[in-house]
Amino acid sequence: MSPGSRQERTRTALVTGGNRGIGLEICRQLSRAGLQVVLAARDPARGRAAARKLGTGGAPVRVEELDITDSKSVRDCAGRLADSGVEVDVLVNNAGIYPTDAFFSLGEETMGRALDVNLMGAFRTCQAFVPAMAERGYGRVVNLSSGLGGMTDNVPSPAAYGISKAALNALTLVVSAAAPASVKVNAVCPGWVRTDMGGSWAPSSVQQGADTAVWLARLPANGPTGGFFRHRKPIDW
Ligand code: NAP
């Protein structure tokens, strides 16, 4: 494929934890916007059930098994996509967990699990997919972070969650600096969103929660990189 025709082809986005909550809504909005979507889920049956409900009118959504805590699962997913000629242009690191323990009752296992999913998961997927983006000269990486990991806000508790999201913000800056300017790497705080994680009393809908992530996933060539955004506006780390 020549560089010219590459510009024209449909972009492909992979969304981790795409089977529910904000991730599923990001899949819906990206598909409606005309992207090819890979809905990645650690349980492919749940992924397929979610994809059936999408009904975006866009191209069929491809479901892939992907447990971001398992390096082999990440490698296998990247390998299956490469073998079938799918080039991931957009990586949305959405999958996350929300342990609520206060610091003095926080066990090492819970802390480790928060880092494994919320930090190392994105580390593994970035290592698997960003080098090819850099090589092809186009990429967008969106890390679903949280204001609860904000250093300028003293990393408000819960402890493991806040620390893991602060670390994800650091990863965002590091990957952004390592990647060429053609690959935009940003973090987003989706706000407090009505999902299994956010609870039914949260003020924002999933549509509102997905909006800034989808905007970052489709940034133009002169868009920002190495930033942290909420409601499409930069916020402090
Ligand atoms: P959610 O409803 O709890 O969904 C979490 C998703 O992550 C599920 O699809 C889950 O899959 C997946 N997941 C968890 N561990 C995984 C693993 N090891 N491998 C692959 N997938 C895994 O959460 P949400 O509210 O949509 O949140 C999405 C993102 O936004 C998270 O990163 C969260 O921290 C961030 N965020 C949310 C809010 C909020 O108010 N909701 C606020 C700020 C930031 P299963 O279904 O298999 O468990």
- Of 15, 99, 31, give the one whose Cα is nearest residue 63: 15
Prediction pTM value: 0.96
- Of 49, 60, 163, give the one whose Cα is nearest residue 115: 163
| Mean of the per-residue pLDDT values of the chain | 95
Ligand 1 atom closest to residue 73's alpha carbon, by position in its atom list: 19
Q: Say yes or no: CB of residue 69 within 6 Å of ligand 1.
A: yes
Kind of pairing, strands 62-65 and 90-93?
unpaired
- Of 82, 77, 48, give the one whose Cα is nearest residue 63: 48
pLDDT digits (tens, 9 = 90+) for 104-159: 999 999 999 999 999 999 999 999 999 999 999 999 999 999 999 999 999 987 99
- Of 55, 80, 52, 53, give the one whose Cα is nearest residue 65: 80
Domains of the chain, each with CATH number or no CATH: 3-234 (3.40.50.720)
Q: Is the pLDDT of residue 7 over 70?
A: no
Residue of 138, 161, 228, 229 marked catalytic: 161
Q: Say yes or no: CB of residue 202 within 6 Å of ligand 1.
A: yes
pLDDT digits (tens, 9 = 90+) for 225-236: 999 999 999 999
Ligand 1 centroid distance, CA of 167 (Å): 17
Contact 18, 68 (CB under 8 A): no
- Of 235, 156, 237, 215, give the one whose Cα is nearest residue 29: 215
- Of 141, 42, 170, give the one whose Cα is nearest residue 97: 42
* Res. 103 pLDDT band, cuts 50 70 90: very high
Active site residue 161: yes
